[in-house]
Amino acid sequence: MVRMSHVIKNFQIIKQEEYCYIFLLDCNNKIHKCKNMSNIYRVVMNYMGQDCSIEKEVEIQNFANITYNKLAKQNNGFLMDADSIHICDLLGCDSELNGIYSENGQETHITITPNYLKFNPIITVNGESVEKMIDYDENVLNILVPEKYMQKENELIRQFTDYLNFNRFQIYERVYKKSINNIWDPKEEQAFVNIIPIKNGQAFYTFTDIIRNEENNSIVDPVSVIYTNNFHPSYILGEASRVLYFQYDDNDKENIDSYLSEIAGINGFIKAESIYKEKLHNLGRFVIDTMLSCLWLVLIFLSYIEVSVSSHKDRKRWTSAINALTIVIAMVICVFASQVNIIFVGHLNIVKGMILLVGIEMILVLRDYNDERIYGGRSNEI
């Protein structure tokens, strides 16, 4: 008859192996995704016109608009803005991502651009590419609506007609129309919403580690606005400062920040952050934290055994073994640290791990010294 303790023990081993497999599989998937994004960068703006005149703000908006359009044309630049979904997650909103404002007034849609679909293809309910269905008329707002939300079509049309009117006309009339250097002069015509029904179950990758990390940083079945350069430039300034991505060949001789300065027509206005390096940095920190946590638990367990041994002679044997293990672990961490440098992870966790190991080493040495002082020359006889 099989003992229940054996069943439980075997089950625990299976679960541990399963967790290890999931951990390794998750790391492998993240590394693979990192490699696919090795030439993708995010734009970072050093100055967005805070605390300045309307004229200066309009000037900066024009720089941002020029930058976006050139990157979109030359470097497959695209927007991927899912910050509203991230805010909903942080606030614990239970609202569906159907594009309708949540109870607390939060947006429940994401914003992308046509170039985004080159990196994350989406298909319509008829199996066609979404890119073929986009209407580029400046008075038309294109939105992607998963099939399961199509019953809200009329409500979506009303809401996003107002959304287009605000971002295209009203903000200009209320704030920027009187600016002497304003170049935005839209023809106020009737706004239309072009709803493109898409198949359910399609994921939109967010290109950031802070959104839906447990879901591979992807959002499934959101209503999506497709920005086609038909909003006031103040909109693209807000987007380009946070969620503008582009491709750049790292083998190019020109420094990427110099390239961006050339694109924007102004020095020091923008710089680039590598998505590849950022993700490897975060992945490396995760791996190191996991390794150090496991090593810490192992050392605590072995130290507990060493303390529990009643014989001083046996304790010395355990102490010697743990000292040797500590040295080996320290060497392993040092070797791993050299690899960590390659993936751009800081040394903070390495330092913490080394301090922990040195601390344990000192405790064991002091214990040996104390035992020698107490037992003296009789220690070998005990």
3 state DSSP class of 78: strand
Instruction: Assign 3-class secondary structure to 81-110.
Output: ECHHHHHHHHHCCCCCCCCCCCCCCCCCEE
**What global pTM score does this model have?**
0.69
If pLDDT is split at 50, 70 and 90, which confidence band does 16 have? very low
Q: Hey, what are 12's tokens? A: 């625990």
Q: Hey, what are 182's tokens? A: 């304003």
If pLDDT is split at 50, 70 and 90, which confidence band does 121 have? very high
- State residue 162's pLDDT score: 94
- State residue 263's pLDDT score: 83
Residue-wise pLDDT for 214-262, tens only, equals 788 899 999 999 999 999 998 998 898 889 999 988 666 678 888 888 8
Does 33 have pLDDT greater than 70? no
Residue with tokens 């002679």: 313
Contacts of 165 (CB under 8 A, 6+ apart): 191
List the one residue out of 117, 40, 77 whose CA is nearest residue 263: 77
Does 304 have pLDDT greater than 70? no
Amino acid symbol at 51? D
- State residue 163's pLDDT score: 95
- State residue 4's pLDDT score: 35
Does 309 have pLDDT greater than 80? no
What is the distance of C-alpha 32 from the center of its chain? 15
Residue-wise pLDDT for 182-211, tens only, equals 778 787 778 899 999 999 999 999 988 888
Dist. CA 42–CA 33, nearest whole Å = 16
Q: Hey, what are 215's tokens? A: 């879901």
Q: In terms of pLDDT, which residue wins out, 267 or 148?
A: 148
Q: Whats the size of the chain, residue-wise?
A: 382
Choose the weakest-confidence range: 45-49, 231-235, 339-343, 359-363. Answer: 339-343
How large is the average pLDDT for residues 280-284? 59
- State residue 104's pLDDT score: 78
- State residue 209's pLDDT score: 81
- State residue 330's pLDDT score: 61
Task: Output the CA angle 107-43-258, nearest 5 degrees.
Answer: 165
How large is the average pLDDT for residues 1-17? 38
Q: In terms of pLDDT, which residue wins out, 68 or 324?
A: 68
Q: In terms of pLDDT, which residue wins out, 95 or 138?
A: 138
Does 340 have pLDDT greater than 70? no
- State residue 2's pLDDT score: 39
If pLDDT is split at 50, 70 and 90, which confidence band does 61 have? confident
If pLDDT is split at 50, 70 and 90, which confidence band does 60 have? confident
**CB 204, CB 112: distance < 8 Å:** yes
